[in-house]
C-alpha cells in the first residue's frame, strides 16, 4: 500500500464529498487501519471505505423513514463503524454514535442507550451481525417501540450509484454529551461546523505531509470521533486506531502502536498517562521508540502538570519529548477543539492561591501560608474563535487574571441541542450585558493570562461550604496522592445540603483498589485526614465501593452528579460507610 501526504479537501461539501475526493484522487492509499487486541491488523484504503459507505447508504435509504430521521450507530470500534458513519453521511441521514450494549454490564449501559433512543426518535439502528441479536432482544423486552436493526456487514454490493447527499448546513451528527454533570443531550452538528473544527485542529496540531495519527479513544466520543477519524480524513493523513478496551487492558499497547507505526500525533485524557505510568516496567518499555511524536494532546479532564512531568521523565528513555505535550481545551457543544498551543512548544503552568479561584476572584500567586494550585495553560483560541471570561450573573466580561465562566463564539459552535429549544437558547444564545453575542456558555470556569486559557473547574461541580468554594478535582487529587488502597480517577467529591443548618456537607465516594489488602477503615481514616489537612475542609461522609461500580461518562470521566444521586437514594453498592456524628 502507498502512503498519503497532507492536503486539505479542495472544495467545501460534506464528509461524504471529502471521502469521495480521497477515493478518487488516492484510491489505493490506506486511510485507516485498526489494530485488534491480538495485534492483528485490518487496513482500509480510501476507495474501499468509499465503497463500503455507499453500500451502507443504499441499505439505510431503503429502511429510513426519511432523511430527517437519525440513525443510531451501535458498533464495536473498528472499520465497520467507519463504514456506518460515512454511510450516514452519504445518505444525508444524521448519525448518532453511541456505545453498543455491554453484555457484562447491561444494567449500566442500557439506561443511557434507552434515553438516547427515546430522545432521538431513531427508527433505524446500524450494527453488525454479532451484536444484532442482543439489540433486538433488548428492544423487544424493554422499549415500547422497536427501531429497525440493520446489520451492515450483511449487505451486498449495492450502492455504486449513490452520490453524496445533504447540504453542509444540515445535521451531520447528533453528538451526545458525555453526561459528566447531567443526563446526556444531543448536540446537533452540521458538516460545516465539523469541517471548520477539523481545520482548527489541523492548524493547531501543525499537520503536514508526513503527519499520522495513532489513537485508542472511543469513536463515539467527540475526541475520538472528530480528532481521531474526521480530522485525519479531512487532512488526508493516515490514522491507526485500536479499541479503548484494548488500551484499558494493556495500556502500553497504545505506545507500542505509536512506536510501530511511527505516529506523529497521539493523546488522550490525563488518566491515560497515569495508567501507562502505573503499568510501565523496565521490561515492557524496552524497545519502545516514541521519538516520532510531535503532538501529545491532553484534555477532556483536568490537565495535571505533575502527570506530564512524570510521564516525560519515565518515557524519555524511549525518545519521548516533553515539549510534545499539547494541553488543549474543548467541549462537544463547540464540536471539539477550542484552544491549544503550538506543536513542540511545550506546556506552561502557574502556581496560584486556591481560595480566590471562584467567580470574579483573582488568580494570584499564593503566599507561603496559603493553599495553592498548579494550573496548566490550555493555549489560545484559533483565529476565528472569540473567547471571553464572563461573570455569569452580571454577564460582564472580566479582565485578565479574573476567574469567570468561559464563553465561546466560533463557526464550530453548534446550533443547539436536539429537540431542546429552551436549553439551546440558554446555552448557545447568551449575550453579554452590552448585547454582544451570541455566545456558547460552557459551564466551565477559568481565566485568561497573556491571552492563554487556564481552566479552574466546572460551575456545576463547585462545592460551597461555609462561604468557601472548593473544586472537587482538588479534593480528589489530595486523596489520590496520599491514600493507598483507592483507585485513581475512580472517586467523586460532591456536596449535599443540610437543610436544618442551611449549609453544605462534603461527601467522598471512592472505589477500593482490588489489589490492596488494606483494611477499609484505615482507608477511610486516611481519606478523612488527607482532605481535612490538605484541603482544610472536613468530610461529612466517606463511602467505599467495589471496583468498576462508580458511574462514568462515555469518555471515562466520573459522573459526580450520578454519585451524588445514588448516595442520596441509598443506591451505592457500599463496602464501608463513615459519617460524622450529628
**Percent residues over pLDDT 70 in the chain:** 92
pLDDT of residue 318: 97
SS (H, E, C) 21-79: HHHHHCCCEEEEEEECCCCCEEEEEHHHHHHHHHHHHHHHHHHCCCCCCCEEECCCCCH
For residue range 345-381, list pLDDT tens digits in order: 999 999 988 766 766 678 888 787 777 888 999 999 9
pLDDT band for 249, please (50, 70, 90 cuts): very high
Work out the angle between the directed axes of helices 15-25 and 191-205 (0-180°, nearest 10): 60
Average pLDDT score, the chain:
89
- For residue 181, pLDDT beyond 60: no
Q: Could you give the CA distance from residue 397 to residue 406 in angstroms, rounded to a whole number?
A: 10
pLDDT of residue 182: 58
- Of 83-92, 472-481, 541-550, the poorest mean pLDDT is in 472-481
- For residue 3, pLDDT beyond 60: no
- For residue 179, pLDDT beyond 80: no
pLDDT of residue 330: 95
Mean pLDDT of 455-466: 81
Beta bridge partners of 299: none
CB atoms within 10 A of CB 30: 19
pLDDT band for 12, please (50, 70, 90 cuts): low
Give domain limits for the chain.
462-579
* Cβ atoms 71, 59 nearer than 8 A: no
| Prior bond of 523 cis (ω within 30°) | no
* Cβ atoms 302, 188 nearer than 8 A: no
Compute CA 394 distance to the chain's CA centroid, rounded to the nearest angstrom.
30
Nearest by Cα to 97 from 87, 106, 111, 107: 87
- For residue 516, pLDDT beyond 80: yes
Backbone φ and ψ for 107, nearest 5 degrees, come out as -65, -20
**Residue 567 three-state SS:** helix
* Cβ atoms 542, 528 nearer than 8 A: yes
pLDDT of residue 396: 96
Highest mean pLDDT among 55-64, 169-178, 403-412: 403-412
**Residue 295 three-state SS:** strand
Q: Could you give the CA distance from residue 291 to residue 435 in angstroms, rounded to a whole number?
A: 49
For residue range 264-282, list pLDDT tens digits in order: 999 999 889 989 999 999 9
pLDDT of residue 1: 35
Q: Could you give the CA distance from residue 497 to residue 475 in angstroms, rounded to a whole number?
A: 18
Of the CA atoms within 13 Å of residue 556, those in its CB half-sphere come to: 23
Q: Could you give the CA distance from residue 506 to residue 476 in angstroms, rounded to a whole number?
A: 12
β-strand pairing of 486-498 with 325-327: unpaired
CA distances from 276 to 119, 162, 248, 266, 300 (A): 37, 44, 10, 14, 17
**Residue 539 three-state SS:** coil
Q: What is the pTM of this model?
A: 0.85
Backbone φ and ψ for 101, nearest 5 degrees, come out as -65, 140
Task: Tell me which fold the domain 462-579 belongs to.
Answer: GMP Synthetase; Chain A, domain 3 (3.30.300)
pLDDT band for 2, please (50, 70, 90 cuts): very low
Task: Find all residues with CB under 8 Å of 175, minimum gap 6, and list them.
Answer: 97, 186, 187, 189, 222, 225, 332, 335, 414
Residue 323 in grid coordinates? 515539549
Nearest by Cα to 565 from 581, 550, 547: 550
Nearest by Cα to 235 from 522, 52, 553, 18: 18
pLDDT of residue 313: 97
* Cβ atoms 52, 75 nearer than 8 A: no
For residue range 129-178, list pLDDT tens digits in order: 999 998 888 887 777 667 899 999 988 777 667 888 767 778 999 998 76
pLDDT band for 110, please (50, 70, 90 cuts): confident
Compute CA 459 distance to the chain's CA centroid, rounded to the nearest angstrom.
18
pLDDT of residue 6: 42
Nearest by Cα to 171 from 270, 85, 67: 67
Task: Find all residues with CB under 8 Å of 547, minimum gap 6, and list them.
Answer: 487, 490, 511, 512, 513, 514
CA distances from 331 to 219, 385, 448, 519 (A): 15, 14, 18, 40
Amino acid at each position: 500500500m502507498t502512503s498519503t501526504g497532507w492536503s486539505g479537501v479542495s472544495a467545501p461539501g460534506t464528509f461524504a464529498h471529502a471521502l469521495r475526493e480521497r477515493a478518487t484522487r488516492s484510491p489505493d492509499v490506506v486511510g485507516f487501519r485498526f489494530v485488534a487486541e491480538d495485534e492483528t491488523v485490518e487496513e482500509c484504503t480510501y476507495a474501499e471505505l468509499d465503497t463500503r459507505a455507499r453500500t451502507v447508504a443504499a441499505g439505510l435509504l431503503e429502511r429510513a423513514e426519511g432523511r430527517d430521521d437519525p440513525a443510531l450507530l451501535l458498533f464495536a470500534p473498528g472499520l465497520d463503524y467507519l463504514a456506518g458513519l460515512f454511510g450516514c453521511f452519504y445518505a444525508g441521514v444524521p448519525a448518532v454514535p453511541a456505545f453498543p450494549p455491554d453484555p457484562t454490564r447491561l444494567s449500566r449501559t442500557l439506561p443511557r442507550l434507552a434515553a438516547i433512543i427515546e430522545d432521538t426518535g431513531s427508527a433505524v439502528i446500524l450494527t453488525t451481525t454479532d451484536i444484532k441479536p442482543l439489540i433486538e432482544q433488548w428492544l423487544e423486552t424493554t422499549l415500547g417501540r422497536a427501531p429497525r436493526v440493520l446489520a451492515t456487514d450483511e449487505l451486498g454490493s449495492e450502492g455504486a450509484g449513490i452520490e453524496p447527499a445533504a447540504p453542509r448546513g444540515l445535521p451531520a451528527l447528533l453528538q451526545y454529551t458525555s453526561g459528566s454533570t447531567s443526563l446526556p443531550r444531543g448536540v446537533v452538528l452540521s458538516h460545516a461546523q465539523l469541517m471548520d473544527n477539523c481545520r482548527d485542529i489541523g492548524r493547531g496540531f501543525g499537520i503536514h505531509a508526513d503527519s499520522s495519527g495513532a489513537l485508542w479513544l472511543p469513536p463515539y466520543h467527540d475526541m475520538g470521533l472528530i480528532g481521531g477519524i474526521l480530522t485525519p480524513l479531512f487532512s488526508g493523513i493516515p490514522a491507526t486506531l485500536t479499541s479503548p478496551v484494548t488500551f484499558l487492558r494493556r495500556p502500553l499497547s497504545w505506545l507500542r502502536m505509536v512506536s510501530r507505526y511511527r505516529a506523529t500525533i497521539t493523546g488522550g485524557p490525563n488518566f491515560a498517562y497515569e495508567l501507562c505510568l502505573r503499568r510501565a516496567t523496565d521490561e515492557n518499555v524496552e524497545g519502545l521508540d516514541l521519538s516520532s511524536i510531535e503532538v501529545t494532546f491532553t484534555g477532556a479532564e483536568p490537565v495535571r502538570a505533575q502527570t506530564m512531568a512524570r510521564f516525560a521523565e519515565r518515557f524519555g528513555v524511549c525518545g519521548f519529548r516533553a515539549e510534545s505535550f499539547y494541553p488543549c481545551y474543548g467541549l462537544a457543544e463547540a464540536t471539539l477543539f477550542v484552544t491549544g498551543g503550538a506543536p513542540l512548544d511545550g506546556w506552561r503552568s502557574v502556581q496560584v492561591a486556591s481560595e480566590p479561584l471562584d467567580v470574579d476572584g483573582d488568580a494570584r500567586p499564593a503566599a507561603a501560608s496559603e493553599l495553592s494550585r498548579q494550573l496548566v495553560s490550555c493555549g489560545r483560541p484559533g483565529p476565528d474563535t472569540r473567547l471571553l471570561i464572563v461573570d455569569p450573573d452580571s454577564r460582564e466580561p472580566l479582565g485578565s487574571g479574573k476567574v469567570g465562566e468561559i464563553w465561546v463564539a466560533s463557526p464550530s459552535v453548534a446550533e443547539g441541542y436536539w429537540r431542546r429549544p429552551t436549553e439551546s437558547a440558554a446555552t448557545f444564545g447568551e449575550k453579554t450585558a452590552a448585547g454582544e453575542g451570541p455566545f456558547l456558555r460552557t459551564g466551565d470556569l477559568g481565566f485568561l493570562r497573556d491571552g492563554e486559557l487556564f481552566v479552574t473547574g466546572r460551575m456545576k461541580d463547585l462545592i460551597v461550604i461555609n462561604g468557601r468554594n472548593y473544586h472537587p478535582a482538588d479534593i480528589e487529587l489530595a486523596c489520590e496522592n496520599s491514600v493507598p488502597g483507592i483507585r485513581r480517577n475512580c472517586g467523586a467529591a460532591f456536596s449535599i445540603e443540610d437543610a436544618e443548618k442551611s449549609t453544605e456537607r462534603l461527601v467522598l465516594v471512592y472505589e477500593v483498589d482490588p489489589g490492596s489488602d488494606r483494611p477499609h477503615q484505615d482507608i477511610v481514616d486516611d481519606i478523612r485526614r488527607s482532605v481535612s489537612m490538605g484541603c482544610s475542609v472536613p468530610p461529612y461522609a466517606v463511602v467505599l465501593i467495589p471496583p468498576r461500580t462508580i458511574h462514568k461518562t462515555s469518555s471515562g470521566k466520573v459522573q459526580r452528579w450520578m454519585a451524588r444521586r445514588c448516595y442520596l437514594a441509598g443506591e451505592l453498592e457500599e463496602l464501608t460507610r463513615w459519617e460524622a456524628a450529628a
